[in-house]
């Protein structure tokens, strides 16, 4: 699609005609996907990054100046999305699908309270939702917001699951040390 038409569509989108967004998406999504695929080298990840790029474009649509071409602005946003994804992944390079497959570390100060096998046995008795929240927060370092997003729940629900899971785990470990 020619640059002038993209600028016109973006002006319409900024003015509140949200149907223009569909046309913008159809016109520039393939180019954004090619760029992000060249960076991510993973089709599923590139698709996620394209969607995140359009979300960021929507949020920043008021900053677009139609005296400039749309594609460079869109590509800059895509690059920013890519860099933020890299930064996030560098902090948490992996996220397990099943937390029960993890080899759980036991902190030195906790070793005197319970053996590793006791911790595993106690964790198996904690409900799966609570167990996932405890492991993701206390061992993997995920924020409650990230846990909530992964589980599709509210952030307060993630906090509650973790808190109740830890209380249940403490009680189970206390009971096994007697």
Residues 6 or more apart whose CB falls under 8 angstroms from that of 43 comprise: 37
- The neighbour count for residue 32, using CB atoms within 10 Å, is 23
CA distance 112 to 115: 7
Residue 8: exposed, middle, or buried by beta-carbon count in 10 A (0-12, 13-18, 19+)? middle
CA of 51: how far to CAs of 56, 78, 96, 131, 158, in Å? 9, 10, 23, 31, 25
* 108-109-114-118 Cα dihedral, nearest 10 degrees: -50
Is the pTM here over 0.75, yes or no? no
pLDDT digits (tens, 9 = 90+) for 39-91: 999 999 999 999 999 999 999 999 999 999 999 999 999 999 999 998 888 87
Distance, CA of 34 to chain centre:
22
pLDDT confidence of residue 90: 80
Residues 6 or more apart whose CB falls under 8 angstroms from that of 77 comprise: 53, 56, 57, 60
pLDDT confidence of residue 108: 56
pLDDT digits (tens, 9 = 90+) for 109-149: 555 554 677 888 888 899 999 999 988 888 888 889 999 99
CA distance 118 to 111: 10
Domains and CATH numbers, the chain: 3-91 (1.10.1740.10), 99-176 (1.10.10.10)
Whether 175 has a pLDDT exceeding 80, the answer reads no
pLDDT confidence of residue 165: 92
């Amino acid at each position: 699609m020619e640059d002038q038409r993209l600028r016109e569509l973006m002006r319409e989108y900024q003015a509140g005609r949200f149907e223009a967004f569909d046309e913008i998406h159809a016109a520039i999504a393939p180019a954004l996907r090619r760029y992000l695929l060249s960076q991510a080298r993973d089709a599923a990840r590139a698709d996620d990054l394209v969607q995140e790029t359009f979300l960021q474009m929507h949020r920043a649509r008021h900053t677009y100046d139609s005296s400039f071409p749309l594609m460079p602005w869109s590509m800059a946003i895509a690059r920013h999305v890519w860099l933020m994804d890299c930064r996030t992944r560098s902090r948490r390079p992996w996220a397990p699908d099943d937390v029960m497959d993890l080899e759980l570390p036991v902190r030195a100060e906790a070793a005197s309270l319970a053996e590793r096998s006791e911790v595993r046995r106690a964790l198996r008795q904690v409900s799966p939702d609570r167990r996932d929240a405890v492991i993701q927060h206390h061992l993997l370092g995920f924020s409650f917001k990230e846990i909530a997003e992964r589980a599709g729940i509210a952030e307060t629900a993630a906090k509650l699951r973790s808190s109740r899971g830890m209380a249940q785990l403490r009680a189970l470990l206390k009971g096994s040390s007697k």
